[in-house]
Amino acid sequence: MSQRETWATRVGFILAAVGSAVGLGNVWQFPFQTGANGGAAFIVVYLLAVFLIGFPAMLAEFVIGRRAERNPIDAFARLGHRNWRVVGILGTLSAFWILAFYSVVGGWVIRYIIGSVRGAYFSGSEAYFGAVSAGPEAVAFHALFMAITVGIVAFGIAGGIERSTKLMVPSIVLLLGGLAIWATTLDGGGAGYAYYLSPDVDTLVSNIGSILPAAVGQAFFTLSLGMGAMITYASYLGRDDSLPIDGATIVVLNTFVGLLAGLVVFPILFSLGIEPGSGGLGAAFITLAGAFAQLPAGRLLGAVFFIVLLLAALSSAISLLEVVTSYLADNTSYSRPALATALGGAIFALGIPSAFGLSILAWYNAIAYNLLLPLSVLTLLVFVGWVDTGDAVAELRRGTGLSESGAVAWLWFVRTIVPLGVLVTLLLGLQTLAVDAGLLAEAIV
Ligand code: PHE
């Protein structure tokens, strides 16, 4: 068997993982989730969820991936627990499912870059969104986005993913930072900062039942957990660096980019008197595009913003495609370009229905958020926390100065608090799905 690929450098792995984490979730969904869930109150719960639930769960994925050096499905067999492959299958299917509609949104973003340059949405952002978000044109841009994703993955771990994310991630930070600095010059943007940065305890307490699942779901999505992505990326490590330090770097950088995106979006909206969080998957595109249309140099600003969004989306999409590709690359002798192309084609096909209607896309998204992600993370935590415990502790300590008791503290967390938090999220999420399904049935009858 030929030598399995590895990252060329430690920084390369970290940036690739940051690229996976930083995506549509940070730049597009996060500011609007914040808006829809009470502003800064949401951010407090979200940050707690990221550090107390997301970070330990990410380490759990790393520990499995690095030790097994296999794709998420075979990893469990390699660690001696064949039956637990079902957890890997669930994660891999989730990656397949999520990329299908993620790529449709990626296609919108490409369309919006062109639209910004030409000022195409300046005369009516809502009508424009309606015209480009669903229908044959949306399918065409979905295909284009997927083709670029396939093109990167075809070049492999070090040659494709590592090389491209080394360029994309710093570009995202620089461009977004530039936009955030520019946003400080906006008249009336101050209310945006206040809304965003000063939590209101009453809002928090009275809405905790809806804020909690939204915040935990957002934390998983943004950290790329539950889809095998972090297992896969860690499986290419081939080195003994400190997983806790690398993981913490990734989590902090991802959070930083999310907060930075908020520092761009909220001042813009408030300076124009637009209320954030009017909900819905399209709202972000409509309100922001509408805002750019009213700003001086809006074409340039709009183009830069959507370029950031595209880089973020691409560096995440490649990690999703890599999850599925790695399974076949580990198990067949077909070339990586052939596998990436075939899988990209299949995922493209699965995404087509969601390019024909916003409500279909919202349904794809709801299944992922409310069911696949929490279920997959929960089973994974049970595996690491209760089944594979001794080896997991040793693996976490490998290459670190971490004491036995430090690693055991992590394990204790992974056994108790973290899965409990996820379980609550899953139950609340299923309830949301049931309500949605009821509404759907009513609409049909
Ligand atoms: N983390 C990405 C985002 O925030 C989404 C993603 C999830 C990417 C899972 C890869 C794996 O947009």
- Give residue 22 CA to ligand 1 midpoint distance, Å: 7
Residue-level pLDDT at 1: 47
Residue-level pLDDT at 178: 94
Residue-level pLDDT at 445: 59
Nearest CA to ligand 1 atom 6: 224
CB distance 222 to ligand 1 below 6 Å: yes
What is the DSSP track for 113-159?
Answer: HHHHHHTTTTT-HHHHHHHHHSSHHHHHHHHHHHHHHHHHHHT-III
Mean pLDDT for the stretch of residues 15-33 = 90
Mean pLDDT for the stretch of residues 286-313 = 91
Token pair, residue 402, equals 């971490």
Residue-level pLDDT at 110: 97
Atom of ligand 1 at shortest distance to CA of 223?
Answer: 1
**CA pair distance 347, 351, nearest whole angstrom:** 6
Atom of ligand 1 at shortest distance to CA of 323?
Answer: 11
Token pair, residue 401, equals 């100065």
CB distance 72 to ligand 1 below 6 Å: no
Q: pLDDT for 332-373, tens place per residue?
A: 999 999 999 999 999 999 999 999 988 899 889 888 888 898
Residue-level pLDDT at 196: 80
Residue-level pLDDT at 35: 80
Q: Is the pLDDT of residue 92 over 50?
A: yes
- Give residue 76 CA to ligand 1 midpoint distance, Å: 23
Q: pLDDT for 384-430, tens place per residue?
A: 999 998 889 999 999 898 899 999 999 999 999 999 989 988 888 88
- Give the least confident one: 117-131, 200-214, 222-236, 376-390: 200-214
Atom of ligand 1 at shortest distance to CA of 23?
Answer: 12
Mean pLDDT for the stretch of residues 256-263 = 91
**Higher-confidence position of 439 and 422:** 422
Mean pLDDT for the stretch of residues 272-295 = 78
Residue-level pLDDT at 341: 98
Q: Is the pLDDT of residue 140 over 70?
A: yes
Looking at every residue in the chain, the average pLDDT score rounds to 91
Which of 58, 223, 319 to probe ligand 1 with, by most ligand atoms within 8 A of CB? 319
| Cα separations in angstroms, 428 against 209, 274, 425, 442 | 8, 30, 5, 21
Residue-level pLDDT at 278: 61
Token pair, residue 430, equals 């299923």
- Give residue 67 CA to ligand 1 midpoint distance, Å: 23
Residue-level pLDDT at 102: 96
- Locate the domains of the chain by residue range: 10-444
pTM: 0.94
Residue-level pLDDT at 444: 62
CB distance 250 to ligand 1 below 6 Å: no
**Higher-confidence position of 433 and 57:** 57
- Give residue 316 CA to ligand 1 midpoint distance, Å: 5
* % of the chain beyond a pLDDT of 70: 97
CB distance 287 to ligand 1 below 6 Å: no
- What is the distance of C-alpha 245 from the center of its chain? 21
Helix pair 283-294, 298-331: axis angle to 10 deg: 150
- Give residue 403 CA to ligand 1 midpoint distance, Å: 32
Which of 96, 316, 364, 377 to probe ligand 1 with, by most ligand atoms within 8 A of CB? 316
- Give residue 313 CA to ligand 1 midpoint distance, Å: 8
What is the fold, at CATH topology level, of the domain defined by 10-444? Answer: Amino acid/polyamine transporter I (1.20.1740)
CB distance 21 to ligand 1 below 6 Å: yes
Q: pLDDT for 166-185, tens place per residue?
A: 999 999 999 999 999 999 98
CB distance 20 to ligand 1 below 6 Å: yes
- Give residue 221 CA to ligand 1 midpoint distance, Å: 5
Torsion of CA 247, 66, 347, 143, to 10 degrees: 60
Inter-residue contact 225 to 373 (CB < 8 Å) = yes
- Give residue 18 CA to ligand 1 midpoint distance, Å: 10
CB distance 227 to ligand 1 below 6 Å: yes
Name the residue among 58, 77, 394 with its Cα closest to residue 230: 58
**Residue whose token pair is 């660096």:** 241
Inter-residue contact 358 to 282 (CB < 8 Å) = yes
Q: Is the pLDDT of residue 374 over 50?
A: yes
CB distance 26 to ligand 1 below 6 Å: yes
- Give residue 275 CA to ligand 1 midpoint distance, Å: 26
